Amino acid sequence: MAKKPAGARRKLVEFDEETWQALDLLGRDSMKTLQELADEAFRDLLRKYDRPTDLKAALKQSVRSSAASSTQNRSRGRRR
């Protein structure tokens, strides 16, 4: 059994039979474990909703937000 990374969380997930069969086949075809498929799916979902997937991405997003906000504030001040 593989070692669980520090700080890892577990969650029980239930699949209907058709979904399970499709995931099992995909895993076998791509030689990936269910965990690897789940990791990929959740990373894609977070990316879809523009959510950071790691600390580095979170920091970059924070800097972009701060820069955009300060630019808007400066633009508003000039219009007065």
DSSP per position, the chain:
-PPPPTT---------HHHHHHHHHHHHHHT--HHHHHHHHHHHHHHHTT--SSHHHHHHHHHHHHHHHHHHHHHHHHH-
Instruction: Say if residue 74's pLDDT is above 80.
Output: no
Instruction: Say if residue 80's pLDDT is above 60.
Output: no
For position 52, what pLDDT does the model report? 87
pLDDT in tens, 7-48: 888 999 999 999 999 999 999 999 999 999 999 999 999 999
For position 6, what pLDDT does the model report? 85
